[in-house]
Structure 1
């Protein structure tokens, strides 16, 4: 998506092939980080573990008078003086579509950010896929991977990302059917009206949406002073400021107004909105998304939640 006032980066303009190669090199490290991140928050995963009519064993528990005798596990009961039934886990796999913006503006990283926006978006995407896959959900990525219910869904998504060309803008969602959740991760710096023109129809089709805005600290703080040249990494348009510090107040107001407008519009759709800076812990955003997917209030932590 288009960038707002990003400082010129030394990296030259890349064509589709070189962008794909760069992303292919980035994805394996992001997958390793995503698995580490998933393990740190797995206690709060988006699970549905409860008794029901699934096929997977969940637990043994004492038999209660009135229950069907066919539910008794005689082998387990024979081990001691109690009678046990074999509970099974409720399996109602849900489909969650996850998408990350991989357009050139996401490559941005200032000296204030821990990683690039692209790297953080990929880690969040793959970590979320890892957690959801462990709980038996069906995971898909619009235009990249059809929904699958598999323990290695995150790894398969990572492989699919490595072999698909980088695409900018919001994804094609024509393939999404049924009552699903969709998680969109990006910087969302395009005009709000343009973003909502794409998201509005998804909400009207019944999709439950969760938007994660990933920002570099410099995009919020505008720490520039003196003669500074800015460029749009997608269009190549440039802006030279003789005294960049004089733009700070106007820029801050415009940036905040854009974010607030986007948040209000998403709220009216019934969608969640999370802001996340790359100098914050990735786990904060992951836990917040997980909470929304689970139907719980998001954590009220600096840098996330709305």
Structure 2
């Protein structure tokens, strides 16, 4: 599917250096916004509380046939007719990789949007970095940082991004290993087959991915009519439509089919797929991400967030 851009797109969006400077100018304010969202939405959430091998008691739960008898809490079980297991809280840090698409199409912002797709993607990813860092988890950005654990993790990642003159359009994901998670924020407007091919290494390595599609409302609804010139921000190619409204139905069908195919593919793999519109709140995506990251995957493991 071609990327949609309007004729008034910023000059130099195809220049990696110009995009790097723009990103550097945005990062400080986006970090402040990310922290505000975390403070507002995530107050009181304890992401690291999950079943594991730690020393701290977490909860009693019913015994399941096949579990080790040594895990049964006989004192608690003696209180009624049920058998209970004493769960302890997991203490090992988990690694969550974070990535926001830096491609030119992410600079798009229609008149109906409050922010560009790039700004929204960075805010969501930096907010996740802040949340995970507070929870003591290891975070990383492919091609920018190795996994690390620090209370100021979001600030460290923001600094790396602000000083990176250019970022690869699609980083190498082969170093990400089993039992890690990755949050990927993008518009996912490339052909579905190319996106699947890029992400297939994650599925083969047993990595659980959480895709966040950043969508501008105009890209989804195609509100254009009359003579309209469209510019592809990736290639610079132009298309002039004499009656743009005639393209609407076919375009919307292709757009929704792409999303449905990606979402169905993610569901089969046990991954999550979230859509966040740039005329809506970033916190909406953050809440859904939190739920996806703390849910048990196909292997039964529970991820920290």
Do Structure 1 and Structure 2 share a fold, with TM-score over 0.5? yes
Q: Deviations over 1:114-171 (max 9, x none)?
A: 1000000000000011011111110101001111111000000000111123335332
The equivalent of 2:7 in structure 1 is 8
The equivalent of 2:275 in structure 1 is 275
The equivalent of 1:48 in structure 2 is 48
Q: What SS does the corresponding residue of 1:159 show, helix, strand or coil?
A: helix
The equivalent of 1:22 in structure 2 is 22
User: Cα gap change, 1:54/1:109 in structure 2, threshold over 3 Å: closer, same or farther?
Assistant: same
The equivalent of 1:135 in structure 2 is 135
Q: Deviations over 1:10-38 (max 9, x none)?
A: 41124222211111000001000000001
Distance in 2 of aligned mates of 1:285 and 1:44? 18
User: Cα gap change, 1:51/1:226 in structure 2, threshold over 3 Å: closer, same or farther?
Assistant: closer
Q: What SS does the corresponding residue of 1:43 show, helix, strand or coil?
A: coil
Q: How does 1:225-240 map to 2 (within 5 A)?
A: 225-240=225-240
User: What's the offset of the Cα at 1:53?
Assistant: 7.0
User: Cα gap change, 1:105/1:254 in structure 2, threshold over 3 Å: closer, same or farther?
Assistant: same
Query: TM (normalized to structure 1)?
Result: 0.81
Distance in 2 of aligned mates of 1:168 and 1:241? 33
User: Cα gap change, 1:218/1:50 in structure 2, threshold over 3 Å: closer, same or farther?
Assistant: closer
Q: How does 1:68-107 map to 2 (within 5 A)?
A: 90-107=90-107
User: What's the offset of the Cα at 1:228?
Assistant: 0.6
Structure 2's unaligned 5+ residue stretches are: 59-74, 76-87, 298-305
- Contact residue 124 and residue 286 of structure 1 kept, 8 A: yes
CA RMSD of aligned residues (A): 2.4
- Contact residue 174 and residue 201 of structure 2 kept, 8 A: no
Q: How does 1:129-278 map to 2 (within 5 A)?
A: 129-278=129-278
Query: TM (normalized to structure 2)?
Result: 0.82
User: What's the offset of the Cα at 1:90?
Assistant: 4.4
Larger CA deviation: 186-195 vs 258-267: 258-267
Distance in 2 of aligned mates of 1:219 and 1:174? 31
Distance in 2 of aligned mates of 1:152 and 1:242? 52
User: What's the offset of the Cα at 1:55?
Assistant: 8.8
Distance in 2 of aligned mates of 1:274 and 1:267? 11
User: Cα gap change, 1:278/1:227 in structure 2, threshold over 3 Å: closer, same or farther?
Assistant: same
- Contact residue 96 and residue 183 of structure 2 kept, 8 A: yes
User: What's the offset of the Cα at 1:223?
Assistant: 0.9
Structure 1's unaligned 5+ residue stretches are: 59-65, 67-87, 298-306
Q: How many pairs were matched up?
A: 268
User: What's the offset of the Cα at 1:47?
Assistant: 1.4
Distance in 2 of aligned mates of 1:294 and 1:258? 27
User: What's the offset of the Cα at 1:232?
Assistant: 0.8
- Contact residue 46 and residue 293 of structure 1 kept, 8 A: no
Q: Deviations over 1:42-61 (max 9, x none)?
A: 236461237987699x9xxx
User: What's the offset of the Cα at 1:4?
Assistant: 2.5
